[in-house]
Structure 1
Amino acid sequence: MTELENAVPQRRPGGRAARVREAVHRAVLDVVTEHGVDKVGIPEVSRRAGVRDSSIYRRWGSRENLILDALLAASERTLPLPDTGTLRGDLTAFGTALIDLLDSPLGHGLFRALAFVTDSEEVVEARKTFWATRYRVTTLMIGHAVARGELPPDTDARLAIELLIAPIHFRNLLTGDHPDAEFVDHLVAHVIRALQPAPVGDPDDGRARE
């Protein structure tokens, strides 16, 4: 079973709308896996999902919206929350998993879709939901570090995660330099250092939590 197949949950009892969405999402992910995001077309998705073209257009409005919805939904389930017992271990595992995601057909497809899709009310909401879910999950990771005494109680969890993922996305999307294990190791060390409280009286005290 492929990563994208694992990203789609098994069918559970529900209404027809939920079953249609699941079938269409699975069809989109299958095409992305087999041929890449550029080859995703509504006629092919319709055929694979057993859903009329008109139903897909009525619900998603465009090919781009459909692709983005399917990939956002799948990516929420393919970046697990690590629990290694240490902040360094958790950040390293999370950063490595993010790099693996960006190297996968799902990751390539997701960020190509984000680059080319035209914003609509549905797309804006899907993007907000995706990041809200991601931040909520990663906040737990920072919370574990606070509970272990590795970080101060007032650590800004969202900023902590952004410090980790922003350089990875920058290299992947803008410079084309592939982040490797050595890069993740250095990055994690810098993130942990930035999150530590500054000495009392230091003019930069609290700089990572403002």
Structure 2
Amino acid sequence: MKEEEEQEPARRPGGRSARVRAAVHQAVISLVAERGYGHFTVGEVAARAGVADTSVYRRWGNLEALTTDVAISWLTAQSPIPDTGTLRGDLHTYATHVARDITGPDGLAVLRLVVSLSMGGQSGERARDDFLLERKRQMDTMLDRAGARGERTPEAMDVVDHILAPMYVRVLFGVSPFTPEYVDELVDRLLLRLPEEA
């Protein structure tokens, strides 16, 4: 009975398991911001999060799996998919959210984490691919919805090339924050590239 009582909170959304996960994730982001990826251990993550390192190993297995989970989880929690009724409105709102997120307190650390993971061999490349796949899923949601409305749509990679990549590069090289006009211009340039309907 006692074992069941101890396990129950881990299954409840917002219970102890969710709090531990959030604390561990925030510890990773803080350590990446302070030291860079590869300059801290699971033990240091656990100490900062206030949990036992055995809890971290039991849940994630190793530091690479943990940091990959942090990057993907951060991304899925940010930049909600807008539904304004038009592709232009959706892209403007989405780009504004992305700009806000990546220039926020954790954004640069997460971008640096993804770049570092992508240079870490096959498992790192998988982490990078998972990150990009989640971004593509977000964009496909908007683009598919716009296509169903009969709007002309770009490819998902066009959104990456013309909206996300310029913002990511500026953040990584310290050229931010972005003005609303800059973000709007990125969206407008992409939409101007769309071929006219036959």
1:72 corresponding residue in structure 2: 72
Is 1:162–2:158 an aligned residue pair? no
Is 1:178–2:174 an aligned residue pair? no
Is 1:126–2:127 an aligned residue pair? yes
The CA deviation at 1:124 is 2.2
**Residue ranges of structure 2 left out of the alignment (5+ in a row):** 1-8
1:144 corresponding residue in structure 2: 145
2:33 corresponding residue in structure 1: 37
1:98 corresponding residue in structure 2: 98
The CA deviation at 1:135 is 0.6
Deviation digits for residues 91-120 of structure 1 (CA, Å, limit 9, x no counterpart): 111111111111123312211223434514
What is the rounded CA distance, in whole Å, between the counterparts of 2:104 and 2:31 in structure 1?
Answer: 13
Give the 3 Å change call, closer, same or farther, for CA 11–130 of structure 1 in structure 2: farther
What is the rounded CA distance, in whole Å, between the counterparts of 2:121 and 2:59 in structure 1?
Answer: 14
1:114 corresponding residue in structure 2: 114
Give the aligned residue type for 2:182.
F
| Total equivalences in the alignment | 181
The CA deviation at 1:59 is 4.4
Judge which range, 124-133 or 44-53, deviates more. Answer: 44-53
Assess if the C-alpha contact under 8 Å between 1:29 and 1:70 holds in 2: yes
Scaled by the length of structure 1, the TM-score of the pair is: 0.68
Give the helix-richer structure, 1 or 2: 2
Scaled by the length of structure 2, the TM-score of the pair is: 0.72
What is the rounded CA distance, in whole Å, between the counterparts of 1:71 and 1:24 in structure 2?
Answer: 16
What is the rounded CA distance, in whole Å, between the counterparts of 1:104 and 1:184 in structure 2?
Answer: 16
Give the 3 Å change call, closer, same or farther, for CA 183–146 of structure 1 in structure 2: same
Assess if the C-alpha contact under 8 Å between 1:36 and 1:105 holds in 2: no
Assess if the C-alpha contact under 8 Å between 1:76 and 1:130 holds in 2: no
1:189 corresponding residue in structure 2: 188
**Residue ranges of structure 1 left out of the alignment (5+ in a row):** 1-9, 201-210
Assess if the C-alpha contact under 8 Å between 2:83 and 2:90 holds in 1: yes
Deviation digits for residues 96-154 of structure 1 (CA, Å, limit 9, x no counterpart): 111111112331221122343451443322221221122122112112222223206xx
2:23 corresponding residue in structure 1: 27
Give the aligned residue type for 1:30.
Q
Assess if the C-alpha contact under 8 Å between 2:29 and 2:109 holds in 1: no
Deviation digits for residues 67-99 of structure 1 (CA, Å, limit 9, x no counterpart): 343132222221211111111111111111111
Partner SS, residue 195 of structure 1 = coil
Deviation digits for residues 29-50 of structure 1 (CA, Å, limit 9, x no counterpart): 3336777732665334324353
Assess if the C-alpha contact under 8 Å between 1:92 and 1:185 holds in 2: yes
What is the rounded CA distance, in whole Å, between the counterparts of 1:33 and 1:133 in structure 2?
Answer: 19
Assess if the C-alpha contact under 8 Å between 2:28 and 2:45 holds in 1: no
The CA deviation at 1:175 is 6.0
Assess if the C-alpha contact under 8 Å between 2:103 and 2:177 holds in 1: no
Give the aligned residue type for 1:156.
E
Q: Kindly, what percent of the aligned residue pairs are identical?
A: 27
Assess if the C-alpha contact under 8 Å between 1:71 and 1:106 holds in 2: no
